[in-house]
Amino acid sequence: MEITDISATNVSTESWGEFVEFPLVTVMSGYDEYNNAAGDNPQARRKWMGPVGDVVVEIETDAGITGVGHGNWATGAIKTIVDETLSKLVVGRDPTERERLWDIMYRATIPFGRKGAAIEAISAVDLALWDIAGKAADKPVYELLGGPVSDEIPCYASNLHPVDLETLEREAIEYVENGFDAVKLRFQYGPEAGRAGMRKNEAVVETVRDAVGHDIAIAGDAYMGWSVRYAKKMCKRLEKFDLAWVEEPVIPDNIDGYAEIRDATDVPISGGEHEFTRWGHEELLERGAVDILQPDVHRCGGLTELLRIDALASAHNVPVIPHSGTNPHLHFIAASTNAPMAEYFPIPQWYQDQQDEKDSTYADAIYANPPDATDGVLELPDGVGLSSQLNHSALESYAVDDQ
Ligand SMILES: [Mg+2]
């Protein structure tokens, strides 16, 4: 088999312009213009993150099989790297030579790569190659990986934005009633909000714990918005709520800070969502930074690299709970004995009620058969390859020109 063509298409949802951001702490909260903790700056996230979109990479072969991978965040940069660099390295090659191609792409992009957009571009290409492998074998990728290791995938309800405590309570109860036994909330405040912010963060966790009872796992995400000192204090205050983990308390490059926070608290600390490659994740593991590792297959180097990261993590007795619940993550979890659950984003009833009509996004339109959790579990992903069925007319209608 030979790769005959590769293309990258950027897609976005125009309606994002009216999207209202929830009040929560982020890595940018220390800057007033990017802080929406009080809910009075609803476009804050858009100001630094830009419009949300995906880049869809399609690899065509002379066997008539097309593989699909996708990436997000720096979509313009990813498309440029695919078009201008990676295409030259993969067109004309055998798509089943994933190890060789990964290494070639990695080495060729070292001058501007190693972390960031270049590895995200490699990730999307690698996922398309795995998709081709599954389609060529007429099997789901989790079977190529030696799975499934179980017949369903447990997942946690990842939402619980701190709108107000009453809404939060209702939403938490809804998830438990819908069969989830694990939930994740977002913290609202960081160091800039002082002691009052700490008290309010604590109130959010207390509200959710009181709502769900003691048998439900609760995690909390700080999206890199805390300092080490703040995280140590905050985690101490939260110990009584028996949290499953606190996620990304500080920026990912502060690896010693992660270890210091872990030493100071009984609360498990997770991270890795913004880390790249086996070498980056090995640092986190070796230096005792995390209790739970959360690589993202679209960022860390694709499925080829995620398998290596999972092997390293399992050797350190650190479970892998990947960031986000996209289909490639579900295939990975279905084939790993070290990946206990998936992230899943239910749309809470209160949010559905306030929408005039259901938001239609490029993701709904482009990817056929998005997974749907029942009783807190997902079925094994459908179809062959990475379950990547594309709706081409939707892809075109959401395509962003001139990137
Ligand atoms: Mg996160």
Domain boundaries, the chain: 3-138+389-398, 143-379
Residue 64 scores a pLDDT above 80: yes
Percent of the chain with pLDDT over 70: 97
Percent of the chain with pLDDT over 90: 80
pLDDT at 68: 96
User: Per-residue pLDDT tens for 195-215?
Assistant: 999 999 999 999 999 999 999
Euclidean distance between CA atoms 212 and 52, whole angstroms: 32
Element (H, E) at 334: helix 327-334
For residues 167-175, give the mean pLDDT: 96
Q: How confident is the model at residue 16 (pLDDT cuts 50, 70, 90)?
A: very low
Q: How confident is the model at residue 163 (pLDDT cuts 50, 70, 90)?
A: confident
Residue 384 scores a pLDDT above 70: yes
Residue 371 scores a pLDDT above 50: yes
Compute the distance from residue 354 Cα to the ligand 1 centre, in Å: 25
Q: How confident is the model at residue 317 (pLDDT cuts 50, 70, 90)?
A: very high
Compute the distance from residue 221 Cα to the ligand 1 centre, in Å: 6
Q: What is the CATH class of 3-138+389-398?
A: alpha beta
Compute the distance from residue 294 Cα to the ligand 1 centre, in Å: 8
Residue 77 scores a pLDDT above 60: yes
Q: CB neighbours of 377 closer than 8 A, spacing ≥ 6? A: 152, 153, 154, 155, 179
Q: What helix, strand, coil percent values describe the chain, rounded to 5?
A: 45, 15, 40
Residue 240 scores a pLDDT above 70: yes
Q: Pick the catalytic residue: 323, 329, 331, 392?
A: 323
For residues 143-161, give the mean pLDDT: 96
How much is the pTM?
0.96
Euclidean distance between CA atoms 118 and 110, whole angstroms: 9
pLDDT at 403: 46
Euclidean distance between CA atoms 67 and 64, whole angstroms: 10
For residues 344-360, give the mean pLDDT: 79
Compute the distance from residue 271 Cα to the ligand 1 centre, in Å: 8
Q: Which of 18-22, 216-220, 283-287, 398-402 has the lowest mean pLDDT?
A: 18-22
- According to DSSP, the residues that pair with 221 across neighbouring strands are 186, 247
Q: Residue 273: helix, strand or coil by DSSP?
A: coil
Compute the distance from residue 127 Cα to the ligand 1 centre, in Å: 21
For residues 150-173, give the mean pLDDT: 94
User: Per-residue pLDDT tens for 79-121?
Assistant: 999 999 999 999 999 999 999 999 999 999 999 999 999 999 9
For residues 271-280, give the mean pLDDT: 98
Compute the distance from residue 223 Cα to the ligand 1 centre, in Å: 6
Q: How confident is the model at residue 354 (pLDDT cuts 50, 70, 90)?
A: confident
Q: How confident is the model at residue 52 (pLDDT cuts 50, 70, 90)?
A: confident
Euclidean distance between CA atoms 216 and 239, whole angstroms: 15
Q: Residue 147: helix, strand or coil by DSSP?
A: coil
Query: Phi and psi at residue 3, in whole multiples of 5°?
Result: -80, 125
Compute the distance from residue 70 Cα to the ligand 1 centre, in Å: 19
What is the rounded average pLDDT for all residues in the chain?
A: 93
Residue of 190, 36, 59 lying closest to 121 (CA atoms): 59
Euclidean distance between CA atoms 346 and 330, whole angstroms: 16
Q: Which of 1-10, 154-163, 317-326 has the lowest mean pLDDT?
A: 154-163
For residues 173-181, give the mean pLDDT: 97
List Cα–Cα distances, 131 to 61, 152, 208, 261, 331, in angstroms. 12, 21, 39, 39, 11
For residues 130-138, give the mean pLDDT: 98
Q: Residue 67: helix, strand or coil by DSSP?
A: strand
Question: To which residue do tokens 């700056």 refer?
Answer: 41
Contact 219, 183 (CB under 8 A): yes
Where do the DSSP E strands lie in 117-274? 152-158, 182-186, 217-221, 245-247, 269-271
Compute the distance from residue 81 Cα to the ligand 1 centre, in Å: 26
pLDDT at 330: 96
Compute the distance from residue 158 Cα to the ligand 1 centre, in Å: 9
Q: Write the DSSP string, 8-65.
A: EEEEE-GGGGGPPPPP---TTTTSGGG--TTSS-TTHHHHHH-S-EEEEEEEEETTS-
pLDDT at 70: 94
Q: Is 323 a catalytic residue?
A: yes
For the beta carbon of residue 182, count every other beta carbon within 10 angstroms: 22
Euclidean distance between CA atoms 233 and 249, whole angstroms: 12
CATH 3.30.420.340 fits 143-379, yes or no: no
Q: Residue 367: helix, strand or coil by DSSP?
A: strand
pLDDT at 402: 54
Euclidean distance between CA atoms 252 and 271, whole angstroms: 8
